[in-house]
Amino acid sequence: MSKNTEVLYGLYNDEEILLDALRNANKKGIEVMEVYTPFPVHGLDDVLGLSESRLHIAGFVYGILGTMTAFGVMTWIFTRDWPIIFGGKPYFSAPAFIPITFELTVLFACVGMVVTFYTICGMGPGITNPVLDDRITDDKFCIAFNVNDASNEDINGLKSFFKETGAEEINTKTI
Amino acid sequence: MSAVVSPIREPLVNGGKTYHQITEDICSPTERAPSPMWIAAFIVAVACLGFGVASILWTIWQGIGTWDLNRTIGWGWDITNFVWWVGIGHAGTLISAILLLFRQKWRTGVNRAAEAMTIFAVICAALFPGIHMGRIWLAFFIFPYPNTRGPLWVNFNSPLLWDVFAISTYFTVSLLFWYTGLVPDFATVRDRAKGFRKKVYNFLSFGWTGKAKHWQRWEALSLILAGLATPLVLSVHTIVSFDFATSVIPGWHTTIFPPYFVAGAIFSGFAMVQTLMLITRKVLKLEDYITVAHIESMNKVILLTGTIVGVAYLTELFIAWYSGYVYEQFAFYNRAMGIYWWSYVGMMACNVLSPQIFWFKKARRSIFVTFFMSIFVNIGMWFERFVIIATTLARDYLPSSWSYYTPTWVEIGIYVGTLGIFFTLYLIFVRVAPVVAIAEIKSILKSAGDQYTGPNAQKHHEENKH
């Protein structure tokens, strides 16, 4: 991490209260840095204005790649590299290639998407990302603000926002 | 609370849980010292595993001659066990993928353990073709890699090779799907742990923090993986059935095999899930998460698939008669009335007749009946594969080469060994990972918790208001 970020965060007890707080923040035009939840909360994407994940497009591309690899390699081997007659069938016996083509399509799409997912999320074996509060993966819902360049006044404003919207705890942490 | 209250729908999480209680209930078994019962079960499982390893080493050292296979019966317990294990391995992905697409919420209580079971079952299954090759040190020949023998390639037209691709793909995809689901829950365990445990779970959780965007991607990924795993799970047993159906042996050469095998796989897989879940929920005290409603739902699937399998058996008999083809007719006459008639009776009794008890709601909701039924079904499905393989091969076209097959201690040892591998891995899994998907249970709490649904919901709701 190049630069440490000063974070002011509030913890909420329920996802409904969190969603209301975020709507409130939107109304006031407060810029939210990040929201952390213990489970996927429905409606959060809309409130935060997150665009739809494009992971499925990546998956489609990987899948097509798998289809072409499997079908292409089998065709090349059986018509060019080493043609053998099996049971009097033609060298290019497309129906017999279907099962492996299907399996490799699924394999490429899945492996590709999972690798893409961890890469774009900045996760993977051995990677440690800063945790704001240990209870976020348990039962607390967290809104975090970046207060690197915030004045005392701004910080007090954010704190009163947390109090107004029903946050249980307000803390700061440098990550 | 703005959650909708439904007094009709049966709750899937009992005990009026809060989010924190869910974490506590599901994580605590991994944090306690193992119970004496767990240790005893683990010792038994490892002992079976050890016997299995010894039998496998004996097979590799001496050769396949240590099995009682002969010129006529080339497939015996090995392929029977292979198909049996692959079949068991179908329930996990079915529960987590197909039921995710159908938005069945009861999936969340059992999907984690069922997927783990799938992975362990596929490991056991893959072992058998591996050893059966005879020279296991040349097992890599089954993969199409550029080599100095020509390059001489594998036969892409062979269903046995399709099997290699199907099972390795299935294993990889199931593993990725399962692990991606586990990552947020490992993070939960990590944030509760201290010292060395924290380091271990920090590694396992891949640096998960629970950001809104990550959850969104995680959900998108789960949905697409489910979409891909659904045709995959159907393709795997279809391809296993091709091993038989594309041959020219009477009794195997039938078009009914793929759907019939897939239904049988789901049938046996759910039975194994029931066996494991009934023990797990009791031992780990998870009765509030794996409820009688879950058990009933799975029993309905068992009843449906068992009946499909029954219809398939009868269809086979009818077609054999209706085809007017004497070899086919003989094959089926031989299955029911031949030397292995007892395995046919076992198959019919365990797979077709006994599941009919689940037409009664009382039986579906009885833990005692469910447990015994789940064992019956697995015995029945083992017999089914034995009937298809050994009975058919024992009486082939030439009466002069007819023979009989009984397993040697080595074959029994390898089978016991795979049970050992399966239970050893499962027992380690329940000690290391959250057995129920914590995040997913939390996400359905407000629509399926007993504060919000079921007969007590209104009462809770009124209390909360005041």
> How far is the alpha carbon of A124 from chain B, nearest alpha carbon, in Å?
5
Predicted pLDDT of residue A118: 94
Which chain A residue has its CA at the smallest distance from B190's CA? A134
**B228/A110 touch (CB, cutoff 8 Å), yes or no:** yes
Q: Is there a contact between B291 and B14 (Cβ–Cβ < 8 Å)?
A: yes
Q: Which residues contact B149 (CB under 8 A, 6 or more apart)?
A: none
Chain A residues in contact with B153 by the CB 8 A cut-off are 77, 81-82
Chain centroid to Cα B277, Å, comes to 12
Q: What is the pLDDT of residues B288-321, one digit of tens each?
A: 889 888 899 999 999 999 999 999 999 999 999 9
| H or E segment and range at residue A96 | helix A94-120
Chain B residues in contact with A40 by the CB 8 A cut-off are 215-216, 218-219, 439, 443
Q: What is the pLDDT of residues B187-226, one digit of tens each?
A: 999 998 888 999 999 999 999 998 999 999 999 999 999 8
**B180/A117 touch (CB, cutoff 8 Å), yes or no:** yes
Q: How far apart are CA B169 and CA B225, in angstroms?
A: 13
> How far is the alpha carbon of A26 from chain B, nearest alpha carbon, in Å?
16
Rg (CA), chain A: 25
- The residues of chain A that CATH labels 3.30.70 are 6-52+128-174
> How far is the alpha carbon of B146 from chain A, nearest alpha carbon, in Å?
11
Q: What is the pLDDT of residues B65-94, one digit of tens each?
A: 899 888 888 888 999 999 999 999 988 888
Q: What is the pLDDT of residues A75-114, one digit of tens each?
A: 999 999 888 888 888 899 899 999 999 999 999 999 999 9
Predicted pLDDT of residue B35: 87
Beta strands in A89-151 (DSSP E): 141-146
Tell me the percentage of chain A whose pLDDT exceeds 70.
Answer: 98
Chain centroid to Cα B283, Å, comes to 21
Q: Is the ipTM of this complex over 0.95?
A: no
**B169/A131 touch (CB, cutoff 8 Å), yes or no:** no
Q: Under CATH, which architecture does the A6-52+128-174 domain have?
A: 2-Layer Sandwich (3.30)
| Domain boundaries, given as residue ranges, for chain B | 19-448
Q: CB contacts < 8 Å between A and B, how many?
A: 186
Give B19-448's CATH code, choosing from 3.40.50.2000, 3.40.50.850, 1.20.1630.10, 1.20.1250.20: 1.20.1630.10
